[in-house]
Amino acid sequence: MLQTNLPSHSSPAAAQGRGDPAAHVPSRAVTLATISLFILVTILAVQAASTRDAHDMAARAAMVLTMRESDARRAEALFAPSAEPRLFTVTVTAYSPTPDQTWGDPWIGAMGRRVRPGKTLAVSHDLKHLLGSRVYVQGVGYLVAEDLMHPRWENRVDLCLRSRNRAEAFGVKQLDMVVLD
């Protein structure tokens, strides 16, 4: 005789909490909340400026409607609009990876990666949540935040350049920076 480890569903108590999808019946409040969320997302999708935004919102609403309550809460938190800004106006300066302008090994950034002149960006400590992010700095190009500046600076980024002369020639600029990821 073949033995299995499947639970017996002879009683309602046996079916509860055992991972059986049929045992999950959403409450009336959850169903109403889900329908309300779907209506809200649909209204926002209709008001969206672009077709892509409308498609994204509709896809999210469809996904939420097919999830269990706990998964829907987690997804809602993931897809909620980001509280952190994506566009900054920052003071942009430059540095060169030389011992007099860095701490420790001048070629190793705060993330433990080798700094890349023209590609690495050091950020002030108030922007350290951007470490590892790709950014676009107006007039400079695409960079990766891989290093930290001295704690005395705020709202500032430092472009890594190969030579000290280039870094000094860059000067100090107020530029827009967009966080890409």
Question: Over the chain (181 residues), what is each successive 10-residue block's mean pLDDT?
Answer: 41 45 50 62 58 59 57 60 75 91 82 92 94 92 93 95 94 94 80
160: number of Cβ within 10 Å: 25
In whole angstroms, what is the distance from residue 114 CA to residue 102 CA? 13
Cα torsion angle, 27, 33, 39, 45, sign = negative
Two tokens, residue 61 = 């609403």
Rounded to whole angstroms, what are the CA distances from 137 to 95, 119, 121, 148? 16, 11, 10, 17
Q: Give the 3-state secondary structure of residue 53.
A: helix
The pLDDT of residue 102 is 73
Joined tokens for residue 92: 């942009």
Q: For domain 87-179, give the fold.
A: Barwin-like endoglucanases (2.40.40)
Q: What is the pTM of this model?
A: 0.53
